[in-house]
Structure 1
Amino acid sequence: MTRRGVRVRRIGAFLLAGALAATCGAGVLPDAGTPSWASPGLVGGGGWPYAGVPLPPEDAAGASYIPGSSVVRLAHGRARLVPFGGETAVTLDASDPRVLTAVRSDRAWLASGRVPAGFPDMASRALLDLRLLTGAQGASLASWFGAWRYAWPRDSAFAAAAFTVTGHPQEALRILRFMAGVQAPSGLWAARYRPDGSPVLDGRSPQLDSVGWMLWAAWLFQRSDPSGTELWPMVRRGADRLAASLRRDGLPPPSGDYWERDPGTEQDPDDPTLGVAGPVLAGLRSAAAFAAGTGHAAQAAAWRTAAGRVADAIGTRFAPLGYPRSPVRGGAMDTSVTFVAPPFAPADPFVAAAVATAARRQALPNGGVLPGERWPGDPSVAWTPETALFALSDAASGRRDAAVAQLGWLASHRTSLGALPEKVDPGGRQAAVAPLGWTASLAVLALSALERPLPVPG
């Protein structure tokens, strides 16, 4: 995504930043004169199909969500919501029966699953926002704002995982079905999709990390819900593609990853980043476990062998260097070191040390983190998905105090309505779109990991 601050900037100021695309999709610029972040959150109404409409910033002062819902209580006491079956927000008297109906519906949905403790307000808001970002057909949007109003396979996988671990299987399966429906016969996905399922043809190549993440999410769902067996064709295509892609050294080929940039710009353009190798390993292990659990022994064995090759290659190429982003001596650290740690891989003390090193080197004075060392974007703006990834890694690895500290920072840097933004500026203010689905998913997963261990593919 583009690098932007809180204040309005004109398109010319963004041209360089747009080229430095990163997490959750890259580089779509706002129209000149458009406020950078026009809303502190989404208004919903509890009805199906779920619909979210941004609250205008001029209405945000003194506004808050009615607890446990996506209905906004405005400063003057009236309520704003999206009526059942509608797509446009309306302002109603607080006594209007539609207000109570919407609040009860949202609360009933939350109660049908589990809201992780620890930071329950952040957890419930994140879950409600994820629901508003997930359309009837299963497209889980990165956010509501134009440049983010697309479904990235990577983000969608984490949204499905968050719904899975909190007991909302219908939403999880809806996302996974959508992604299965748009998967190419080759097993790959486009970089991103419109809500109707059409790929965005903007020159971005398919990214192998997305395949790994989708396989991980499918396995996580299938192990908790028998209906996940219907995802077998998607898993088979994806895992076969990953296994066939491996080079003689056991690593996958170079590909874009969560930084969303051309592999040719990396420190080692001829090798994959850890942001690709880690998800590929997690995906193959997950696919093998999925196959073993659904009676496909031959595929399970083949993918387990492929996963072993990737694990050996990571151990040979990345581990001796301290798990940097690229396998080069003195390579920059980045958040992808968490991809080879729990809950995506078994615990390893050397990986744990590398996670701590990366978190320290990427830390900013405002308490958040950059996506990585030598980050090409604004070096003073913290990214919430990366902060949440460290929180998830800490929570899943038993480092409770560190996880709580990271989650506390996220909780204290939400918007005025409590939504999790993509970025936070040096002064602690929202510096990008909110809510961001990937951060919401990661926060939910981290909070869940604090309560009960998350399964690890292996």
Structure 2
Amino acid sequence: MHRPAARETPSRRRVLRGAGALAVLGAAGAGGCTLTRVLSPPVDPRTVVPLFSQSVAYDASGTRQLVGVEGAKASLDPGTRLLTAVPEDAPARERAEQFLTGTAAWSERLAAAHPERPELHDLAGSAPADLWVLTDQLAAPVAGWSRNWRFVWPRDAAFAAVALARIGHPDRAVEILAHLQSLQAVDGWYEARYVPGTDRAPDDRARQFDGTGLVLWAVQEVAGTLPEDRRVAVTDRLAALIGTSQRVLLASTGDGEVMPPVSPDYWEVHERSVTLGIMAATLAGLRAGADLTGEGRARRAADSFTTLLTGTFGAHGYQRHRRGGGADSALAFLDATGCHGIVPTAQLLSLREELARPAGGIAPGASWKDDGISWTPSTSLLALALARSGRPAEAGDLLTWLAQHRTAAGSLPEKVLFDGRPAAVAPLAWTAANVLLALDALAGS
């Protein structure tokens, strides 16, 4: 995937040539960040990834553009993903204001819950702006706006839909899920990613089984934010997705008795055996399907699969693979998706030490290459898991770290280098969604 990826191919990781100070972009919104950054001294080039952009914003023509790319000069309106040149009566500005109005009640609840944590309030302003600019007027959010990230990943879109529903935009969340329903193959699988607005994959990347479980989990989460009458209408609308996903999850696991199919997971590399990430996503889907349908068979399958997970991966310390591979941030998928009580809290907490990177975030896994880079999708997923499992202090610490390592424009990047500099894509939809869901959990939603 766009992140994490164990091997960065030229088509997805282009090293920018040349060096030079970043342009002064003007005043940004979140956290009172300034858009001027001083370059650090030269470091080992094997551990450095450039920052592709400071953010993404609409320009005066109503077109999204990368902000802060080399040679570009532009300024953002504070707290927005709009350039200052955007007219007051521009449709993009009107849509942005409507979005912010929809999140106002959620923001107020967060502020009331944590008046002593201003950095969380800043994050609660910038993360929605990041998610909005990657979702606005699209059938589903794209992962990022840099060229090789401008695709719809079902996994990212599932988390984004849940986040949007939680922060005050359930209708938009349902539309995203309806689009994902239209993309699902008849056998229940999803492509790794899609060209926006189409059902076409941009390349021959292998399909991924985790999308099936995570999208079904997203349906259950979004439906749970709605009043009962609306919930019934939404589940009726998404009946094909619910039925197809549950059918393939039950069939592929022998009603929870056997391992799911071998598939790439969020690392997006070829696998020879089932990973913890696939197991966690499958369990999330089985449990969601049981809750949505109320079927006894589905509930029994979810219980059986829980026993299978604990007796296989759990017997060997919940490593990346059944009997090895070391710690994996996929462990956080369990509590992040509501599968509580399976992993000891102490083991979840230990991920921050086992996968620690110099700047303070974590790597995707212990077997990841030793390049010193923190990955914000994994770090934010851990924050979400801790927030939802009743560890607000530790979750808050991770969210504070994320807030402190945004770009100068206030956007959440994909990576943070060993010396604390944001790197690669910014903003990233999955990270923004994880952050919003973690904040939502801390607000006691």
Rounded to whole Å, the distance in 2 between the matches of 1:62 and 1:133 is 19
Could you tell me which residue of structure 1 aligns to residue 262 of structure 2?
Answer: 254
Deviations 1:395-446 (A, max 9, x none): 1111111111100010000011100000011111121110000000000000
> Bigger CA drift: 54-63 or 156-165?
54-63
Could you tell me which residue of structure 1 aligns to residue 241 of structure 2?
Answer: 234
Rounded to whole Å, the distance in 2 between the matches of 1:345 and 1:191 is 24
The one-letter amino acid of 2:268's match is: E
Could you tell me which residue of structure 1 aligns to residue 9 of structure 2?
Answer: 18
Rounded to whole Å, the distance in 1 between the matches of 2:328 and 2:291 is 28
Residue 243 of structure 1 is aligned with which of 245, 250, 272? 250
**Structure 1 residue 39 and structure 2 residue 53: aligned?**
yes
**Structure 1 residue 273 and structure 2 residue 275: aligned?**
yes
Residue 359 of structure 1 is aligned with which of 333, 352, 355? 352
| Aligned CA-pair RMSD | 2.8
The 1:149/1:279 distance shift into structure 2, 3 A limit, reads: same
Residue 99 of structure 2 is aligned with which of 104, 109, 132? 109
> Bigger CA drift: 335-344 or 28-37?
28-37
> Bigger CA drift: 316-325 or 201-210?
201-210
* Displacement after TM superposition at 1:195 (Å): 0.6
Could you tell me which residue of structure 2 aligns to residue 8 of structure 1?
Answer: none
Q: TM-score, normalised by structure 1?
A: 0.80
**Structure 1 residue 80 and structure 2 residue 85: aligned?**
yes
Is the Cα–Cα contact under 8 Å of residues 249 and 286 in structure 2 kept in the other structure?
Answer: yes
Rounded to whole Å, the distance in 2 between the matches of 1:273 and 1:413 is 30
Is the Cα–Cα contact under 8 Å of residues 159 and 433 in structure 2 kept in the other structure?
Answer: yes
> Bigger CA drift: 245-254 or 444-453?
245-254
**Structure 1 residue 337 and structure 2 residue 331: aligned?**
yes
Q: Which has the higher contact order (CA 8 A, sep 6+)?
A: 2
The 1:106/1:203 distance shift into structure 2, 3 A limit, reads: closer
Could you tell me which residue of structure 1 aligns to residue 81 of structure 2?
Answer: 70
Residue 65 of structure 2 is aligned with which of 47, 53, 66? 53
Q: TM-score, normalised by structure 2?
A: 0.82
Unaligned runs of 5+ in 1: 5-13, 20-26, 73-78, 82-95, 293-299, 454-458
**Structure 1 residue 410 and structure 2 residue 410: aligned?**
no
**1:438 match: secondary structure:** helix
**1:189 match: secondary structure:** coil
The 1:418/1:282 distance shift into structure 2, 3 A limit, reads: same
Rounded to whole Å, the distance in 2 between the matches of 1:121 and 1:254 is 41
* Displacement after TM superposition at 1:193 (Å): 0.3
Residue 368 of structure 1 is aligned with which of 361, 368, 389? 361
Give the number of aligned pairs: 397
* Displacement after TM superposition at 1:306 (Å): 1.8
Is the Cα–Cα contact under 8 Å of residues 336 and 381 in structure 2 kept in the other structure?
Answer: no
Rounded to whole Å, the distance in 2 between the matches of 1:128 and 1:71 is 10
Deviations 1:142-195 (A, max 9, x none): 000111010000000000010011110122112111111111111111111001
Q: Which runs of 4+ in 1 moved over 6 A?
A: 59-62
Residue 303 of structure 1 is aligned with which of 298, 302, 319? 298
Deviations 1:113-153 (A, max 9, x none): 32344512222222122122125351210000111010000
Rounded to whole Å, the distance in 2 between the matches of 1:234 and 1:403 is 32
Is the Cα–Cα contact under 8 Å of residues 371 and 383 in structure 1 kept in the other structure?
Answer: yes
**Structure 1 residue 159 and structure 2 residue 121: aligned?**
no
* Displacement after TM superposition at 1:285 (Å): 0.5
Could you tell me which residue of structure 1 aligns to residue 373 of structure 2?
Answer: 381
Rounded to whole Å, the distance in 1 between the matches of 2:335 and 2:317 is 13
Is the Cα–Cα contact under 8 Å of residues 6 and 268 in structure 2 kept in the other structure?
Answer: no
Rounded to whole Å, the distance in 2 between the matches of 1:29 and 1:241 is 34
Rounded to whole Å, the distance in 2 between the matches of 1:374 and 1:395 is 26
Could you tell me which residue of structure 1 aligns to residue 288 of structure 2?
Answer: 286
Deviations 1:350-394 (A, max 9, x none): 432221222210011210110010103x52111001110111111
Could you tell me which residue of structure 1 aligns to residue 317 of structure 2?
Answer: 322
* Displacement after TM superposition at 1:343 (Å): 4.1
The one-letter amino acid of 1:423's match is: K
Unaligned runs of 5+ in 2: 20-49, 112-116
Rounded to whole Å, the distance in 2 between the matches of 1:395 and 1:355 is 11
